Structure 1
Amino acid sequence: MSVRDTARNQRDASWVPRKRRGAELVLTMMAVVIGVAAYAAVGLGTEGTIPADTFKLGGFLAVVAVATTLLVRRVAPYADPVLLPLVIALNGLGLAMIYRLDVGRQALDPDRAAFANGQLVWTTLGVVAFAVTLTLLRDHRRLQAFTYSFGLAAIVLLVLPLLPVVGREINGARIWINLGPFSFQPGEAAKVCLAIFFAGYLVVKRDALALAGRRFLGIDLPRGRDLGPILVAWLISIGVLVLQKDLGSSVLFFGLFVVMLYIATERPGWLVVGALLVTAGVTLGYWQFGHVRTRFDAWLDPFTGDAGYQVKTGLFGLAHGGILGTGWGQGSPQTTPYSFSDYIIASLGEELGLTGLMAILLIYGLIVERGLRIALTCRDGFGKLLAAGLAVSFALQVFVVVGGVTRLIPLTGLTTPFLAQGGSSIVLNWLIIALLLRISDQTRRPAPSPASLASSDTQVVRLP
């Protein structure tokens, strides 16, 4: 080996990735400014003056930004520097839009409940969950030891809404449980548990699942006996659809499993099998269950009858917004049913226009891109699959929500991450970001040098 090669190897061994915590702080402060400016613009658009509690919201977002940045700097110094600012920007925009809808809804009916203050409380709980996860979970690989425990927890969480005492049916879907004065959607927590379970299971079983079976129409399909897990996932998805009348969660859970299976085995045949099973399940649901048929009819023809009223008004709102939007507080998004939750994307599209909506979708795309980047660079199989699963679940949820609002696919009722009103959604999505940051920190952290390892080995040998 030449002197030049030796010097290059020494330089590569001593290279340490930049932490970029300073850049994260700057981006986070920019995200805070976006949220506060949106809140102030809502007041100017609806009442002609800046809301009195703008400084309260600004202080809240500033505290969240500084506290989370300092926490990441301390317990995950090598974590991805872009994820946290993106999330705070979305959270701030969601708070501003919910406040704007509160003003519009109460102008129509003063007795209607306001959701902005409750969303602040749930955001606080989400940040607490984020901090606890990052502080207590110092190595994501420890989760692999509890693979089947998380699988059992996911099943329990999915069954809870079906119990007669705690379960609660809202808008025809039995996906809620009561926790005192609050209601919680356990399917959001089940999504995280399933991602951990799938990652742990597939790391161990992917060699068997990758074995080729028969070749059909140029596609290598898996062996028959390896179809068991995907058939079970399909049946669970259909069970959720039948018992809870929740089309969105069944599609999300099954899509999560199929995509993670494809990532683990690199076999396109699994995608083909998954697509066929989804088609069969949706067809069965359409012909057997009236609520599924109603949603399909509203999707195919929202302008006939009352079933498509929500879809129709949402489309009118998007058309009213046009390219640049009506401006904060200048539209009428409150006339759309559930404009603060299921249809908050339509509300934002009306007042921010196609331009603002594309910017929001770009933020979502960046979050998914960072998650997939973390998966690509992760050095262990479990972390790679878990990061990919969390990013894919995030992408699937956004696609299903936006696709339903824009009439690309039937409406499913899932929440828009970090934007829509909903406590369970915002808390669990903050927890997902914490898991991604933990995996990212472990991935980007420099490996111990051979000299330090040798020194530590020597010290261990010399112990009496």
Structure 2
Amino acid sequence: MSTFDSLSTPAAEQRRGPAADAPQAAPTRRNTELAMLAFAVVIPMLAYANVGLAMDGTLPGGMLGYSLGMGALALIAHLVMRRFAPYADPLLLPLATLLNGLGVVMIWRLDKAGGLLVPNYPAATNQLMWSGLGVALFVGVAILLKDHRILQRYTYISMAVSLVLLVAPVFFPSRDEDFGAKIWIRIGSFSIQPGEFAKIILTIFFAGFLMVKRDALALASRRFMGLYLPRGRDLGPIIVIWLLSLLILIFENDLGTSFLFFGLFVVMLYVATERTSWIIFGLVLSIGGATVVASTASHVKIRINSWLDPMAAFQEPPPKGTSEQIGQTLMSLGSGGTTGTGLGQGRSWLIQFAAKSDFILGSFGEELGLTGLMAIFMLYALIVQRGLRTAIAARDPFGKLLAVGLSSAFALQVFVVAGGVTGLIPLTGMTMPFLAQGGSSLLANWALIAVLLKISDTARRPAAEPAAAIPEPNRGGTVS
């Protein structure tokens, strides 16, 4: 029996012996969730007050309204969990609430920075509105999704919907501030980034597809240099996914979604089959595809050149196609040092409008320092850890793969954004989950947390106790 199959039984059930077959009531941990939510609301509220005192010497005028708004959203989400998912993980909701609240505070702080932000419009109000809509979507998923296994019925429908979402931005014009990337659907003043939702729907397709095909994909035809090579006909799915990710990269100039899309499939393929050879093939194909596209696509080439020499934009005259934002972000992180300049006392607004979105980590890094940035990364790591723990506890293979996929997609997005901002990898233009300005990202990530919580609720819910057998009378007329 493979490791994946051995995880089909929750750890608690594996530890129980034959004498303890009767189901035991598991703690719901909802009171723990409520206590953690209180901290998740109070910490951003104190940060909000800190920013106001640092910038103006007074408490912000909207502090009470902001605190009541975030508190009300957190309470509504908690009450829904208490009613519709009582056995769900108690930490996922507080972690998401804390990150969301900190993001709103930093965006408000950048709104107050002054006229150097172009365009400078009050984004914090919009972000708070999108936070409310995100929690509303979270509530909707928690109520309407009775059982996550229902999603398995829509495996191929999910594939079709995700392809439509990924391809749709090609037919809409991009703006100058998008820097060549076609990742938005804009109709008048309304805009949406469909790739944020596609990552969830694609994960549903991958989980359903791999659950059925994982035995065939795990078969090896030959052994070469210590690796089990998959059969030729089983290479088809990964080749198709690789080509599709390249097409997204070529036609939409969207490096982040392409990397996330292909990386997610390779990770889930490895988890389903336990074949290291799939990881090797994935790395070879991704490096080869990135090399080809980087040598032909001008937009990707500019991003790579800016990554290799982030300070080139400050030369006189600056080379064509360079951007100052990467260099400014690195200087912002450097000026923050270990402990930071303090909330409201940095100069990260010099990064211009992207300080609120793509480069918001640079803003946090300057004002909270390396220590604060590590704390933020720890919050993200806890979300991923709780998601993977949910995958281990899930009783069904589809739920395991779905939880692994959602957690991996979340982790990959955090890595891609953080790696681009810190100069570890080329900048991709994706948004930091929950922290960065953007309605599409908030909505999608709140929905992702809701699905993980529903899987967790099913995994931790005690099994129904079987009905007691009715005794039968024996031939002697007595009851045995």
Residue of 8, 19, 23 corresponding to 2:28: 19
Identity percentage of aligned residues: 53
Task: Deviation per CA, 1:62-98: give whole Å up to 9, x if none.
Answer: 1011111111000000000010000000000000000
Question: How many residues are treated as equivalent by the alignment?
Answer: 446
Tell me if the contact between 2:117 and 2:349 (Cα under 8 Å) persists in the aligned partners.
no
Of 120-129 and 8-17, more deviation after overlay is shown by 8-17
Displacement of 1:45 = 1.3
Q: Aligned letter for 2:261?
A: F
Greater shift in the superposed pair: 304-313 or 192-201 = 304-313
> Do the aligned residues in 2 keep the contact of 1:188 with 1:425 (CA within 8 Å)?
yes
Structure 2 partner of 1:232: 240
Could you tell which deviates more after superposition, 139-148 or 112-121? 112-121
Q: 1:138–1:113: structure 2 CA closer, same or farther, 3 Å change rule?
A: same
Matched, 1:55 2:52: no
Q: Quick check: 360-369 or 32-41, which moved more?
A: 32-41
Q: CA deviation at 1:214?
A: 2.5
CA–CA separation in structure 2 for the residues paired with 1:411 and 1:183: 22
Match of 2:3 in 1: none
For residues 296 and 73 of structure 1, what CA distance do their matches in structure 2 show?
Answer: 48
1:344-383 alpha-carbon deviations (Å, 9 max, x no partner): 0111000000000000000000000000000011010101
CA distance in 2, matches of 1:279, 1:182: 36
Distance 1:8 1:302 in 2: 60
Distance 1:111 1:238, change over 3 A: closer
Residue 108 of structure 1: how far off its partner (Å): 2.7
> Helix, strand or coil: the match of 1:334?
helix
Change (3 A) 1:214 1:30: same
**1:377 and 1:109 mapped to 2: Cα distance?**
47
Distance in 2, Cα, partners of 1:53 & 1:76? 33
Following superposition, the deviation at residue 178 of structure 1 comes to 1.7
Letter in 2 for 1:236: L
Aligned partner letter, 2:284? L
Q: Which residue does 1:458 correspond to in 2?
A: none
Q: What is the alpha-carbon distance in structure 2 between the residues aligned to residue 365 and residue 77 of structure 1?
A: 24
Contact conserved, 2:104 with 2:128, CA < 8 A, in 1? yes
Matched, 1:413 2:429: yes
State the shift of 1:182 in Å: 2.0
Inter-partner Cα distance in structure 1 for 2:17 and 2:226? 47
Q: How does 1:243-322 map to 2 (within 5 A)?
A: 243-305=251-313, 306=318, 307-322=322-337
CA distance in 1, matches of 2:175, 2:261: 21
CA shift at 1:249, angstroms?
A: 0.4
- The runs of 4+ residues in structure 1 deviating greater than 4 Å are 7-12
Which whole-Å CA distance do the structure 1 matches of 2:175 and 2:162 have between them?
18
Matched residue, 1:351:
367
Q: Does the 8 Å CA contact 2:172/2:182 hold for their aligned counterparts? A: no
How far residue 301 of structure 1 moved from its aligned partner, in angstroms, is 1.1
Residue equivalent to 2:389: 373
Structure 1 counterpart of 2:380: 364
- Report the counterpart of residue 156 of structure 2 in structure 1: 148
Q: Distance in 2 between the 1:406 and 1:111 partners?
A: 24
- Name the counterpart of 1:451: 467
Matches within 5 A, 1:115-154: 115-154=123-162
Partner of 2:398: 382
CA distance in 2, matches of 1:376, 1:269: 23
Secondary structure class of the residue paired with 2:306: helix
1:342 match: secondary structure:
coil
Q: 1:9 Cα deviation (Å)?
A: 5.0
- Please say if residues 141 and 382 of structure 1, whose CA atoms lie closer than 8 Å, have aligned partners that are also in contact: yes
Distance in 2, Cα, partners of 1:273 & 1:410: 22
Q: State the distance in 2 between where 1:128 and 1:17 align.
A: 28
Query: CA–CA distance in 1 between the matches of 2:84 and 2:188?
Result: 34
What CA RMSD, in Å, does the superposition of the two structures yield over aligned residues? 1.6
Alignment of 1:341 onto 2:378: no
1:248 deviation in Å?
A: 0.5
Matched letter for residue 350 of structure 2: T
Q: Are the equivalent residues in 2 in contact too, given 1:299–1:308 (CA < 8 A)?
A: no
Aligned equivalent of 2:218:
210
Structure 2 equivalent of residue 400 of structure 1: 416
Q: Is the 8 A contact 1:333 1:346 kept in 2?
A: yes
Question: Normalised by the size of structure 1, how large is the TM-score?
Answer: 0.93
Pick one of 333, 343, 350 that aligns with 1:328: 343
Q: Which amino acid aligns with 1:239?
A: L
Is the CA contact 2:116–2:350 (under 8 Å) kept in the aligned structure 1?
no
Q: Match of 1:462?
A: none
Which SS does the other structure have where 2:467 is aligned? helix
Q: Give the TM-score normalised by structure 2.
A: 0.90
Deviations 1:248-299 (A, max 9, x none): 1000000000000000001111000000000001100111111111111111
Contact 2:195–2:257, Cα closer than 8 Å, also in 1? yes
Whole-Å Cα distance in 2 between the matches of residues 318 and 252 of structure 1? 25
| Distance of 1:330 and 1:414 partners within structure 2 | 26
Q: Is the 8 A contact 1:299 1:410 kept in 2?
A: yes
Partner of 1:75: 84
Q: Distance in 2 between matches of 1:185 and 1:164?
A: 12
Query: Aligned to 2:237, what secondary structure does the other structure show?
Result: helix
Cα deviations by residue, 1:381-432 (Å, 9 ceiling, x for unpaired)? 1010000000000000000100111111111111000000000000000000
Aligned equivalents of 2:437, 2:209: Cα separation in 1: 33
Q: CA deviation at 1:217?
A: 1.6
Distance in 2, matches of 1:41 and 1:212, equals 59
Q: Partner of 1:221: helix, strand, or coil?
A: strand
Secondary structure (helix, strand or coil) at the match of 1:451 reads coil
CA distance in 2, matches of 1:377, 1:300: 43
Q: Does residue 197 of the first structure (1) align with residue 205 of the second (2)?
A: yes
Given that residues 314 and 346 in structure 1 are in contact (C-alpha distance below 8 angstroms), is that contact kept between their aligned partners in structure 2? yes
Cα-to-partner distance string for 1:203-242 (whole Å, 9 max, x where unaligned):
0111110101222221112111101000010011000000
Q: Indicate conservation of the 8 Å contact 1:168/1:178, yes or no.
A: no
Q: 1:184 aligns with which of 173, 177, 192?
A: 192
Q: Structure 1 residues 179 and 63, CA, compared in 2 at 3 Å: closer, same or farther?
A: farther
Structure 1 pair 362–288 and aligned structure 2 pair: CA distance change class (3 A): same
Where 2:415 maps in the other structure, the secondary structure is helix
Cα distance in 1 for residues equivalent to 2:329 and 2:230: 42
